[in-house]
């Protein structure tokens, strides 16, 4: 009979003969922390079904199809997935008791219970319209449901890594294939008709590819290449993948954030002398960038490059802040949100069809959830960053470091993109990180 999966401290490593990892995760990964070619680390033939299961289910936990209306079956399944996996969430809570459980449950209670009621008062939502606005927040529960799935199936770390590599290759391979195969007549300007094949005046034709698993694979590639001298050739794949994103995906903040996190990971894992040179170079580039920004040279070009998207964000930001600032109760508790199918829409409230909360970062979260909700959400993200950092420092392996990188990436890009747009990403990487450290500590029964 399997014994319960219970939390165990890092001292278990010492009792089992594994010395505790010290130092910072920003230092190079040790060679003895890399997967061994043995029974305990390498995914074998008996784990193939677990690899297949993760390949199928991780895109759902990572919300890869959550806004992809072009594929109706997976789109609807993604919307229903939080409720389908509720039994797994209960299993994860009862059997695994993951860290920050109370914090996540408190935040869920606020965003799923209090915020919809406020939207009925502040925005005139009907009862069912108010419930519909919670669909985007429910994926936060994936932290528990994915934990439950992992506790039930007990995949090895190498199995998880193999699934992530397969999904990363599939993401970029499918994006490139569709770019060359799909005719231009499929692209539309109205995002109500397609969220995948898009044509814009400023960026032209582009694919709005779900990049969660592709980005995570790039972080893993960078970490693994720097940790293993014989695999440095993997670094050549990163600029090729980034080039594909620039030419096809064309989502500027995502690409810049990805490049920044990968660059930071490579920089801090360099030998000390090269690291110093890299830091000096980064400081010089930053100083030049600040000069160009404040001198107005860069601002003019940036305004012209961003064009309509920048003006939309500026307008949405101003409208949101002005609206919540008019009433102290709105500022403290938030006003909730509406859906595009609600009786009252944001266009009705503000007279602007281009008002998007998801594109104004924390200002949009303040508008919807107020100072209380914003504080809870910020604390959850800070706690996730601390947990994944500690786990990566303890394990010292590329996979746990890549999971920490992704949490940093979410926080880095949150100034533009709302962290509540795809909260399943944070839930997924944090659950995986917690599972990996418990595998190493021996807190799991054998598969």
CA distance 259 to 408: 12
Q: What is the pLDDT of residue 30?
A: 46
Strand (E) or helix (H) holding 338: none
Average pLDDT over residues 330-337: 89
Q: List, in order, residues 6 or more apart from 9 with CB less than 8 Å away.
A: 441
CA distance 5 to 41: 20
Residue 13, pLDDT above cutoff 90: no
Q: Which of 102-106, 331-335, 438-442 has the highest mean pLDDT?
A: 102-106
- The number of angstroms, rounded, from the C-alpha of 140 to the middle of its chain's C-alpha atoms is 11
CA distance 78 to 61: 8
- The number of angstroms, rounded, from the C-alpha of 326 to the middle of its chain's C-alpha atoms is 33
CA angle 264, 251, 431 (to 5 degrees): 60
Average pLDDT over residues 288-301: 55
Confidence class for position 143, pLDDT limits 50, 70, 90? very high
Q: List, in order, residues 6 or more apart from 73 with CB less than 8 Å away.
A: none
Q: Are 49 and 243 in contact (CB under 8 A)?
A: no
Strand (E) or helix (H) holding 115: helix 115-122
Q: What is the pLDDT of residue 314?
A: 78
Q: List, in order, residues 6 or more apart from 337 with CB less than 8 Å away.
A: 115, 119, 123, 133, 357, 368
Phi-psi region of 154 (alpha: psi -120 to 50; beta: other; left: phi over 0): left
Q: Which residues pair with 204 in a beta bridge?
A: 200
Residue 90, pLDDT above cutoff 80: yes
Q: Which residues pair with 200 in a beta bridge?
A: 204
Tokens standing for residue 184? 């231009």
CA distance 23 to 33: 14
Residue 207, pLDDT above cutoff 60: yes
Q: Are 401 and 25 in contact (CB under 8 A)?
A: yes
Q: Are 56 and 78 in contact (CB under 8 A)?
A: no
What is the signed CA dihedral for 302, 306, 308, 312, rounded to 10 degrees?
-90
Average pLDDT over residues 73-93: 95
CA distance 121 to 124: 6
Q: List, in order, residues 6 or more apart from 371 with CB less than 8 Å away.
A: 331, 332, 333
E strands of 46-166, at which residues? Answer: none
CA distance 177 to 166: 16
What is the signed CA dihedral for 200, 206, 207, 212, rounded to 10 degrees?
-90
Reported as a single tens digit per residue, the pLDDT across 155-178 is 999 999 999 999 999 999 999 999
As to burial, measured by CB atoms within 10 angstroms (0-12 exposed, 13-18 middle, 19+ buried), residue 133 is: buried
Neighbours of 284 (CB within 10 A): 10
Look-up: residue for tokens 């990892």?
Answer: 21
Phi-psi region of 100 (alpha: psi -120 to 50; beta: other; left: phi over 0): left
Q: What is the pTM of this model?
A: 0.85
Rg (CA), the chain: 22
Residue 267, pLDDT above cutoff 90: no
Q: Are 433 and 418 in contact (CB under 8 A)?
A: no
Q: What is the pLDDT of residue 360?
A: 86
Confidence class for position 333, pLDDT limits 50, 70, 90? very high
Dmax over CA atoms of the chain, in Å, equals: 69
For the chain, domain boundaries? 46-269+308-441
Confidence class for position 200, pLDDT limits 50, 70, 90? confident
Reported as a single tens digit per residue, the pLDDT across 353-387 is 667 777 788 998 999 999 999 999 999 999 999 99
CA distance 386 to 383: 5
Q: Which residues pair with 273 in a beta bridge?
A: none
Q: Are 301 and 309 in contact (CB under 8 A)?
A: no
As to burial, measured by CB atoms within 10 angstroms (0-12 exposed, 13-18 middle, 19+ buried), residue 164 is: buried
Q: What is the pLDDT of residue 23?
A: 39
Residue 426, pLDDT above cutoff 70: yes
- Count Cα neighbours of 266 within 13 Å in the Cβ-side half-sphere: 20
Average pLDDT over residues 130-147: 93
Average pLDDT, the chain: 83
Q: What is the pLDDT of residue 399?
A: 95
Helix, strand, coil: what percent of the chain each, to 5?
70, 0, 30
Tokens standing for residue 277? 């040179």
Neighbours of 93 (CB within 10 A): 19
434 vs 352, more confident: 434
Confidence class for position 44, pLDDT limits 50, 70, 90? low
State what percent of residues in the chain have pLDDT above 90: 51
E strands of 124-258, at which residues? Answer: 197-200, 204-207
């Amino acid at each position: 009979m399997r014994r319960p999966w219970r939390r165990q401290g890092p001292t278990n490593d010492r009792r089992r003969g594994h010395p505790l990892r010290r130092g910072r995760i920003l230092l190079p990964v040790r060679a003895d922390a890399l997967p061994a070619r043995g029974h305990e680390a390498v995914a074998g033939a008996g784990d193939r079904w677990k690899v297949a299961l993760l390949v199928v289910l991780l895109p759902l936990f990572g919300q890869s199809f959550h806004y992809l209306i072009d594929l109706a079956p997976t789109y609807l399944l993604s919307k229903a997935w939080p409720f389908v996996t509720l039994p797994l969430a209960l299993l994860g809570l009862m059997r695994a008791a993951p860290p920050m459980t109370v914090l996540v449950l408190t935040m869920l209670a606020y965003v799923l219970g209090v915020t919809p009621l406020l939207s009925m008062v502040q925005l005139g939502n009907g009862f069912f319209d108010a419930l519909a606005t919670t669909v985007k927040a429910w994926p936060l529960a994936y932290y528990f449901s994915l934990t439950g799935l992992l506790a039930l199936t007990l995949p090895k770390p190498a199995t998880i890594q193999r699934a992530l590599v397969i999904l990363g290759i599939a993401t970029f391979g499918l994006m490139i294939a569709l770019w060359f195969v799909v005719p231009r007549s499929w692209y539309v300007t109205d995002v109500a008709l397609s969220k995948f094949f898009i044509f814009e005046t400023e960026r032209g034709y582009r694919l709005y590819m779900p990049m969660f698993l592709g980005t995570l694979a790039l972080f893993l590639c960078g970490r693994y290449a720097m940790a293993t001298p014989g695999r440095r050739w993997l670094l050549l794949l990163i600029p090729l993948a980034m080039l594909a994103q620039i030419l096809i995906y064309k989502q500027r903040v995502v690409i810049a954030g990805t490049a920044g996190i990968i660059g930071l990971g490579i920089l801090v894992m360099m030998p000390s002398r090269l690291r110093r040179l890299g830091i000096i170079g980064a400081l010089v580039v930053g100083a030049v960038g600040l000069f160009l920004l404040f001198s107005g040279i860069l601002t003019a070009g940036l305004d012209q490059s961003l064009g309509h998207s920048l003006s939309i964000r500026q307008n949405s930001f101003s409208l949101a802040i002005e609206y919540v600032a008019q009433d102290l109760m709105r500022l403290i508790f938030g006003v909730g949100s509406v859906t595009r199918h609600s009786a009252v829409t944001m266009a009705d409230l503000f007279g602007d069809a281009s008002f998007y909360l998801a594109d104004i970062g924390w200002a949009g979260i303040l508008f919807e959830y107020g100072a209380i909700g914003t504080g809870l959400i910020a604390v959850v993200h800070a706690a996730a960053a601390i947990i994944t950092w500690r786990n990566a420092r303890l394990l010292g392996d590329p996979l746990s470091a890549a999971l920490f990188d992704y949490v940093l990436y979410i926080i880095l890009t949150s100034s533009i993109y709302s962290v509540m747009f795809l909260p399943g990403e944070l839930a997924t990487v944090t659950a995986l990180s917690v599972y990996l450290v418990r595998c190493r500590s021996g807190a799991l029964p054998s598969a």
